[in-house]
Amino acid sequence: SVIHEFKGISQLEKTLEKMLNVEKVIILPGNSAEDGLVLKDMGKITSASLKKIIKDNCIIGITGGNTMASVAEEMIPGKIADNVLVIPARGGLGKDVETQANSIAAKLAQKLGGNYKLLHVPDSLEKEALEVIRKIEDVKESIDFINKMNILVFGIGRADTMAERRNLPKEKIDALTKDGAVAEAFGHYFDIKGREIWEYLTVGLTIEKYKEIDHVIGVAGGEEKAEAIIAVSSLRKKMTIVTDEEAAKKIIEIV
Ligand code: BG6
């Protein structure tokens, strides 16, 4: 029955909260990696959770990716607070406009009747270029907002998938794998214990700041992201993980 199924899911949520040592886990039935409707549901639930914590003058950071695109898409339009600002958590102009953090931030802001600030910095930079870019007034302003962020909503990816998506050279991808990188979140690559393996050079959220943000919601589903979710969960206890049944079952198998 539906009630029985619901009970099963809520038990699974409790189990995962303990296993991952995080405050809250929300699990959607099904597999978001294969079923677009489940991805949509993850977006819906995440946007509803986000709405509950938005206050006047708050700064919301968001990343790119298909999962975050779904969060912005599923947000029910309506103003809930004054002077809300949405920003991309990190630089990076992905190739696909729809899933760029900039586009997603703008869309979310419009839905919330708030403002947005775009960050025009490439995904990966040379050290010298980064030094110069950091001095640009507009970029400085963005960094300042990133450091004042109150809420972060972010996608969690597999290290190998994200390295490929960002067109890293094959040697670099192999090196990351060899060093144990399994997860990627806001431009940082982590091993299963949450130790940082590598970070590509750009402007954006640091691990130190990540640990201090008031509210963070990480969203990822599909069994292939199980290790990535485990890795990112270990970075802080005070967080919400939104995932799907498929990933949840795989996590239980691994941990
Ligand atoms: C990217 C984020 O845009 O999306 C990454 O910058 C994240 O940090 C990734 O890992 C997840 O993408 P998707 O498409 O699997 O939701």
Q: What is the ipTM of this complex?
A: 0.97
How many A from CA of 198 to the centre of ligand 1? 16
At 200 the pLDDT is: 82
Residue listed under structure tokens 């980064």: 130
Distance 64 CA to ligand 1 centre (A): 5
Report how far residue 191's alpha carbon sits from residue 198's, in angstroms, rounded to the nearest whole number.
10
Spatial separation of the C-alpha atoms in residues 123 and 206, rounded to whole Å? 15
Distance CA 160, CA 181 (A): 8
pLDDT at 146: 97
C-beta separation of 239 from 22 below 8 A: yes
Q: What is the pLDDT of residue 92?
A: 75
Candidates 34, 40, 63: which one to mutate for ligand 1, based on the most atoms within 8 Å of Cβ? Answer: 63
Rounded to the nearest angstrom, the distance between the alpha carbon of 251 and the centre of ligand 1 is 19
Which residue ranges in the chain fall short of pLDDT 70?
A: 1-7, 93-94
pLDDT at position 6 is 64
Provide the pLDDT for residue 114: 98
Handedness of CA 161, 165, 171, 173 (dihedral sign): negative
What is the 1 CA–ligand 1 centroid distance (Å)?
A: 35
For 22, phi and psi rounded to 5 degrees?
-125, 155
- Cα 253 from Cα 255, distance rounded (Å): 6
Q: Which residue has the tokens 């270990």?
A: 234
Residue to mutate, 97, 100, 184, 227, ligand 1, most ligand atoms under 8 Å from C-beta: 184
Per-residue pLDDT, 140: 95
Q: What pLDDT shows up at residue 3?
A: 57
Report which ligand 1 atom has the smallest distance to the Cα of 156: 10
Residue 227: the pLDDT is 98
